[in-house]
Structure 1
Amino acid sequence: MKFVKDGASDIGMKLHPFTLRFVDDQAYLEEEYRSYYFSESISSIRITLVLAIFFYAVFAGLDVAVAKQYQTQLWLIRFAFVIPVLVLLLILSYRPWFRKNVQALVGIGMYLTGFGIILMIFYISKIGLYTYYAGLMLIFLIGYTFIRLRIVSATIAGWSIVLTYEIVALCFAHTPTIALINNNFFFVSANVIGMLICYFLDRTNRRDFFMRKLLEVERNKVKAANDVLEQKVQERTQQLLETNVELKKEIELRKQYEQERTKLEAQLMQLQKMETIGTLAGGIAHDFNNILTPILGYTEMALEEVEEDNTLRFDIEQINHAAVRAKDLVQ
Structure 2
Amino acid sequence: MNLAKNKIDVAIPYSMIQVSLNPLTLDFTGRDQTLEKPFRRAYFSNSLDHVRRCKLYAILFFSIFGILDAYVFPEQKFQLWFIRYVMVCPVFLVGLIFSYTDVYRRFWQPINAFYIIVTGVAYIAMVVITPAPESYFYGVGTIFCVFFGYTFIHARFVTASIAGFFVVGGYQAAMMWLMDASDVIQLIYGAHFLGINLLGMLICYSIEIHQRKSFFLNYLLEKEKEKTEQINRNLEKRVEARTAALQRINRDLNKEIRERKQAEGRVRASHEQLETILDSIDADIHLSDMESRRILLANRHMKKNYGDDIVGQVCHQAVMGQEQPCQQCKAHMLVDENGRPGEGRSWEEKNPVNGRWYIIYARAIVWEDGRIAQLQVATDITAMKEMESRLQRAQKMEAIGTLAGGVAHDLNNILSGLVGYPELLLLDIPEGSDARTIVETIKNSGEKAAAIVQDMLALARRGVPVNDVVSLNRIVRDYLDSPELAKLKSVHFQVTIRADLEPTVFNIVGSAVHLGKTVMNLVTNAAEAIPHVGEITISTRNCYMDRPMHGFETVPEGEYVRLRVADTGIGIPMRNLERVFEPFYTKKKMGRSGTGLGMAVVWGTVKDHHGFIDARSVEGRGTVFDLYFPVSRQDLEAEAEVLPLDRYRGAGESVLVVDDIKEQRDMAAFMLNRLNYRVDTVASGQDAVDFIRRAAVDILVLDMIMDPEMDGLETYRQILAIAPGQKAIIASGFSESQRVLEAQRLGAGRYIKKPYRMEQIGMALKEQLAAAPADNRS
Smaller-chain TM-score bracket:
0.7 to 0.9
Q: Which amino acid in the other structure matches residue 114 of structure 1?
A: G
The 1:327/1:156 distance shift into structure 2, 3 A limit, reads closer
Q: Which amino acid in the other structure matches residue 58 of structure 1?
A: I
Contact 1:130–1:179 (Cα < 8 Å) also in 2: no
Question: Between Structure 1 and Structure 2, which shows a larger proportion of strand residues?
Answer: 2
SS for the counterpart of 1:209 is: helix
Give the structure 2 partner of residue 234 of structure 1: 240
2:167 corresponds, among 161, 171, 181, to 161
Q: With structure 2 as the length reference, what TM-score do the two structures score?
A: 0.33
Give the structure 1 partner of residue 60 of structure 2: 54
1:200 corresponds, among 206, 227, 231, to 206
- In the alignment, the residues of structure 2 paired with residue 328 and residue 258 of structure 1 have an alpha-carbon distance, to the nearest angstrom, of 37
- In the alignment, the residues of structure 1 paired with residue 108 and residue 674 of structure 2 have an alpha-carbon distance, to the nearest angstrom, of 127
**CA RMSD in angstroms, aligned pairs only:** 3.5
Deviation at 1:57, TM superposition (A): 0.5
Deviation at 1:276, TM superposition (A): 3.1
Taking CA–CA contacts closer than 8 Å with sequence separation of 6 or more, which of the two structures ends up with the larger relative contact order? Answer: 1
Give the structure 1 partner of residue 34 of structure 2: 28
Deviation at 1:259, TM superposition (A): 7.5
- In the alignment, the residues of structure 2 paired with residue 208 and residue 256 of structure 1 have an alpha-carbon distance, to the nearest angstrom, of 67
- In the alignment, the residues of structure 1 paired with residue 39 and residue 92 of structure 2 have an alpha-carbon distance, to the nearest angstrom, of 26
The 1:90/1:257 distance shift into structure 2, 3 A limit, reads same
- What are structure 1's unaligned runs of at least 5 residues? 1-9, 288-325
Give deviations 1:243-274, integer Å, cap 9, x for gaps. 97998599379549737945973895487256
Give deviations 1:40-80, integer Å, cap 9, x for gaps. 22233222222111110111011112211111111011011
Give the structure 1 partner of residue 98 of structure 2: 92
Contact 1:125–1:175 (Cα < 8 Å) also in 2: no
Give deviations 1:183-237, integer Å, cap 9, x for gaps. 2222111101100111111111111111111222222222222222222122112
Q: Which amino acid in the other structure matches residue 424 of structure 2?
A: A
- In the alignment, the residues of structure 1 paired with residue 91 and residue 157 of structure 2 have an alpha-carbon distance, to the nearest angstrom, of 22
- In the alignment, the residues of structure 1 paired with residue 104 and residue 27 of structure 2 have an alpha-carbon distance, to the nearest angstrom, of 20
Q: Which amino acid in the other structure matches residue 44 of structure 1?
A: H
Give the structure 2 partner of residue 251 of structure 1: 394
Give the structure 2 partner of residue 41 of structure 1: 47
- In the alignment, the residues of structure 2 paired with residue 230 and residue 327 of structure 1 have an alpha-carbon distance, to the nearest angstrom, of 75
- In the alignment, the residues of structure 2 paired with residue 195 and residue 206 of structure 1 have an alpha-carbon distance, to the nearest angstrom, of 16
Deviation at 1:109, TM superposition (A): 1.1
Q: Which amino acid in the other structure matches residue 42 of structure 1?
A: L
Q: Which amino acid in the other structure matches residue 281 of structure 1?
A: L
Question: Between Structure 1 and Structure 2, which shows a larger proportion of helix residues?
Answer: 1
Give the structure 1 partner of residue 138 of structure 2: 132
Give the structure 2 partner of residue 276 of structure 1: 419
Q: Which amino acid in the other structure matches residue 258 of structure 1?
A: G
1:1-331 paired onto structure 2 within 5 Å: 12-125=18-131, 129-238=135-244, 251=394, 254-255=397-398, 258=401, 261=404, 265=408, 268-269=411-412, 272-273=415-416, 275-281=418-424, 284=427, 329=676
> Aligned residues: percent identity?
28
SS for the counterpart of 1:69 is: coil
Contact 1:114–1:161 (Cα < 8 Å) also in 2: yes
The 1:268/1:171 distance shift into structure 2, 3 A limit, reads same
The 1:328/1:231 distance shift into structure 2, 3 A limit, reads closer
The 1:182/1:267 distance shift into structure 2, 3 A limit, reads same
Instruction: Answer with 32-41 or 20-29: which moved more.
Output: 32-41
Deviation at 1:182, TM superposition (A): 3.0
The 1:327/1:208 distance shift into structure 2, 3 A limit, reads closer
Give deviations 1:289-322, integer Å, cap 9, x for gaps. xxxxxxxxxxxxxxxxxxxxxxxxxxxxxxxxxx
Contact 2:63–2:85 (Cα < 8 Å) also in 1: yes
The 1:285/1:102 distance shift into structure 2, 3 A limit, reads same
The 1:219/1:259 distance shift into structure 2, 3 A limit, reads same
Give the structure 2 partner of residue 290 of structure 1: none
Instruction: Answer with 74-83 or 220-229: which moved more.
Output: 220-229
Deviation at 1:124, TM superposition (A): 0.6
Contact 1:63–1:74 (Cα < 8 Å) also in 2: yes
